[in-house]
Amino acid sequence: MGAASQRETEVLERARKAVPPGYVPSEDEEYMNPQQQEYFRVLLLEWKASIRDAARQTRESLQDGPIREPDLNDRASSEADWGIELRTRDRQRKLIAKIEAALRLLDDGEYGYCEVTGDPIGLKRLIARPVATMTVEAQEAHERREKVSRDD
């Protein structure tokens, strides 16, 4: 285990201790209070660890050797499955960068606020998508502008 992984494990353990078992952020609380921040830190770090674990399992499977299916159809099917698996891992690699950015925002005290408007993103949205950086409205406007520029 590398120094970065060891540090993340320590941070995760501290955050878990700060969040009572079964705790879920509520609209009745002050937005992004320390307990909510630690809740999201746990969520993000556990998500990151699960992605890394899946990537490690994929690497181990690839190291087991080439696909040795005797039947051409079986081999083609296995290669297609591996292609899908590798594309999934690539998307998850990009997701790790978003998780790390969200963790930096948490450290800076800016997590949970829209990068466009500065408004609170909202607990429900953050629980559903912990790496969200915009409110639903700002995200929709962004996507509309993106679509218009693509159509040109």
Q: What is the rounded average pLDDT for all residues in the chain?
A: 86
Write out 45-75 in H/E/C secondary structure: HHHHHHHHHHHHHHHHHHHCCCCCCCCHHHH
Q: Is residue 56 part of a domain?
A: yes
Q: Is residue 125 part of a domain?
A: no
> Is residue 79 over pLDDT 60?
yes
Contact 113/121 with Cβ under 8 angstroms? Answer: yes
Contact 131/101 with Cβ under 8 angstroms? Answer: yes
- The whole-number average pLDDT for the span 37-66 is 84
Q: Is residue 33 part of a domain?
A: yes
Contact 35/106 with Cβ under 8 angstroms? Answer: no
> Is residue 84 over pLDDT 70?
yes
For residues 136 and 59, what is the distance between their CA atoms, to the nearest angstrom?
A: 36
pLDDT for position 65: 59
Token look-up 């950015």 returns 101
Q: Is residue 71 part of a domain?
A: yes
Q: Is residue 44 part of a domain?
A: yes
Q: Which residues partner with 26 through β-bridges?
A: none
CATH number assigned to the domain comprising residue 63:
1.20.120.910
Q: Is residue 139 part of a domain?
A: no
Tell me the whole-structure pTM to 2 decimals.
0.78
pLDDT for position 124: 95
- With cut-offs at 50, 70 and 90, classify the pLDDT of residue 146: confident
- DSSP letters, 6-47, are HHHHHHHHHHHHHS-TT----TTSPTT-HHHHHHHHHHHHHH
pLDDT for position 57: 82
Q: Is residue 151 part of a domain?
A: no
Domain tally, the chain: 1
Q: Pick the residue with more confidence: 113 or 83?
A: 113
Contact 119/135 with Cβ under 8 angstroms? Answer: yes
- With cut-offs at 50, 70 and 90, classify the pLDDT of residue 81: confident
Q: Is residue 61 part of a domain?
A: yes
**DSSP secondary-structure letter at 118?**
-
Range of the domain at 81: 3-113
How many Å is the Cα radius of gyration of the chain? 20
For residues 37 and 15, what is the distance between their CA atoms, to the nearest angstrom?
A: 9
For residues 42 and 132, what is the distance between their CA atoms, to the nearest angstrom?
A: 16
